[in-house]
Amino acid sequence: MTNWEEVDTYAKRWIKEAGERIKKSFSEDFVVETKSNKNDLVTEIDKGTEQYFITKIKEVYPDHHILGEEGMSSRVENLEGIVWIIDPIDGTMNFVHMQRDFAVSIGIYENGVGQIGLIYDVVADELYHVKKGHGVYMNETKLKPLVPVKVEEAIIGLNATWVTENKRIDPKYLSPLTKDARGTRSFGSACLELAYIAAGRMDAYITLRLSPWDYAAGKIMVEELGGKVTSLRNEELDMLTQNSFFASKPELHEEILQKYLQNGQW
């Protein structure tokens, strides 16, 4: 039997320590490289942070698996057993350019079921955390269940990419939504946008491309508070590949799917 209390304690300790290491890096020079394209950045701090988690986890839990964005651990082929899904820095572009609005994200899954989620906004020193069935917290404050809202009063996290010409979705679907909503926001860190939904600061988040490490922790939080997390076609997410992504308060999820996305048949 897994002692989740103990796993939670270690995970919180390590994520705080990782945050301290990242903060220290602000005063140092670090190398920035590009990955798939010129805007897809990675730094040695992303890699060092992921390696730090791997070392810590392997020391205490040698039989746990690790799926990290930077691929520093051995490949994860399935979600059997306990898998730590880690984004060492979510919002690397913000980290490099702005030194704020990035976070460390850890989702811990057992046989595909999310058990623990941690999102640490390092600069704001806000740790969002959930243990399945025990509520969601921002630091010591317990977050409230999500309250229904209509599109016209909703703030929706949405990147401008998806309402201009792009390869994944015709702008005719999401551009009316941006007109009807009270406002849209784009923070540049997917996990923080999910933490903001949990905290009631935002009502939905939509993107056409997201990886498991971006949402592994936030999904557990939003669902714990009664929200819905699916693909933009209203399918269950595959935790091992990229997906389109739609997290929202439940009624809003239905309203957006019906009015703007042809019930997922777009």
Report the C-alpha gap between 248 and 150 in whole angstroms. 11
* 69 binds Ca ion, rule: CB under 5 A: yes
For the segment 181-240, give every residue that binds ligand IPD (CB under 6 A): 188-190, 207, 209-210, 214
| Shortest distance, position 91 Cβ to ligand IPD, whole Å | 5
Q: Residue type for 252, please?
A: L
* 49 binds ligand IPD, rule: CB under 6 A: no
**Contact with ligand IPD (CB under 6 A): which of 70, 90, 110, 255?**
90
- Output 110 or 214, the one with its CB closest to Ca ion: 214
| Shortest distance, position 163 Cβ to ligand IPD, whole Å | 14
**Burial of 205 from C-beta contacts in 10 A (0-12 / 13-18 / 19+):** buried
- Output 189 or 248, the one with its CB closest to ligand IPD: 189
Size of the site for ligand IPD (CB under 6 A): 13
**Contact with Ca ion (CB under 5 A): which of 214, 223, 224, 255?**
214
- Which of ligand IPD, Ca ion, none does residue 264 bind (CB under 5 to 8 Å by kind)? none
- Output 4 or 95, the one with its CB closest to Ca ion: 95
- Check whether 90 is labelled as a binding-site residue: yes
- Check whether 214 is labelled as a binding-site residue: yes
- Output 189 or 256, the one with its CB closest to Ca ion: 189
HEC sequence for the chain? CCCHHHHHHHHHHHHHHHHHHHHHHCCCCCCEEECCCCCCEEEHHHHHHHHHHHHHHHHHCCCCEEEECCCCCCCCCCCCCEEEEEEEEECHHHHHHHCCCCEEEEEEEECCEEEEEEEEECCCCEEEEEECCCCEEECCEECCCCCCCCHHHCEEEECHHHHCCCCCCCHHHHHHHHHHCCEEECCCCHHHHHHHHHCCCCCEEEEEEECHHHHHHHHHHHHHCCCEEECCCCCCCCCCCCEEEEEECHHHHHHHHHHHCHHHCC
**Contact with Ca ion (CB under 5 A): which of 90, 101, 203, 224?**
90
Kindly indicate which of the ranges 16-24, 85-93, 96-104, 127-135 contains the residues binding Ca ion, using the contact rule CB under 5 A: 85-93
- Output 69 or 110, the one with its CB closest to ligand IPD: 69
* Residue carrying structure tokens 């909503």: 181
- Check whether 89 is labelled as a binding-site residue: yes
- Residues found near Ca ion in the complex (CB under 5 A): 69, 87, 89-90, 214
- Residues found near ligand IPD in the complex (CB under 6 A): 69, 87, 90-92, 159, 188-190, 207, 209-210, 214
